[in-house]
Amino acid sequence: MAVVALKDNYIGEVADRVENFHGNQVVYFNWEKHLMFCAATAFPLPPDMPFGAVLEQILPTYYGMHPDFAKIDWSKVTWTVDGKAFTPDPAKSLKDHGVRHKSLIRFTTPGLDGIDGTCS
């Protein structure tokens, strides 16, 4: 039973269908071991946006104030989307990387473990 309800076969309306986002899809980003950013961040992004825009605009704008950010060696960063490892290609779109509506992208920066190494 998908819900306990007075009415048989009650179906709920899905509040976050992709059609409600005006052509965008929601994408989440999380920088591992940097809990100064309290949670993963959420953005409404066009599926055709090139991954380069993530690297050049989104991440520097929203994570750039962290002292580790300038030290990132981007060639060593490891990435997953919804648990699957991938290597970003700046020219290819989010969609090409397997990013769907409400996908979670996690990135790990080896050797960088936050403020004083405390994962903040």
Partner 1 sequence: MAKKLGLKQKYQMMTRGLGWDTTYQSMDKVYPFDKFEGIKVHDWDAWEDPFRLTMDSYWKLQAEKERKLYAVIDSFAQNNGHLGISDPRYLNAVKLFIQGVSPLEYMAHRHFAHVARNIRGIGPAVAAQMQSLDELRHAQTQIHTISHYNKFFDGIHEWRHMHDRVWYLSVPKSFFDDAVTAGPFEFLTAISFSFEYLLTNLLFVPFMSGAAYNGDLATVTFGFSAQSDESRHMTLGLEVIKFLLEQDEANVPIIQRWLDKWFWRGYRLLTLVAMMMDYLLPKKIMSWQEAWEMYYEEAGGALFQDLARYGIKEPMSAAVARKEKNRLSSEAWAIFYQYTHAAAFHTWDIDEEHKAWLAEKYPETFDKLYRPRLDFWEKEAAAGRRFYNNALPQLCTVCQIPMGFTEPDDPTTICFRESEYKGEHYHFCSDGCKGIFDNEPEKYVQSWLPVHQIFQGNCGGASVEDVLKWYRMNLGADNLDFSGSPEDKFWSEWHRTASRAEAAE
Binding segment toward partner 1, per CB under 8 A, in 40-48, 49-57, 69-77, 90-98: 40-48
Count other C-beta atoms under 10 Å from residue 109's C-beta: 20
**Tokens 């269908």 found at:** 17
**Tokens 């290819």 found at:** 92
Structure tokens given for 25: 């899809």
From the list 23, 26, 78, 97, which residue makes contact with partner 1 (rule: CB under 8 A)? 26
Question: 80, 66, 75, 81: which is closest to 113 by C-alpha?
Answer: 66
- Per the CB < 8 A criterion, the answer to whether 65 and 36 are in contact is no
Q: Is 11 in the site for partner 1 (CB under 8 A)?
A: yes
Binding segment toward partner 1, per CB under 8 A, in 15-23, 46-54, 71-79, 88-96: 15-23
Q: Is 37 in the site for partner 1 (CB under 8 A)?
A: yes
From the list 36, 53, 55, 77, which residue makes contact with partner 1 (rule: CB under 8 A)? 36
From the list 47, 79, 86, 103, which residue makes contact with partner 1 (rule: CB under 8 A)? 103
Q: How far apart are the C-alpha atoms of 60 and 53, rounded to whole Å?
A: 10
Q: Is 91 in the site for partner 1 (CB under 8 A)?
A: no
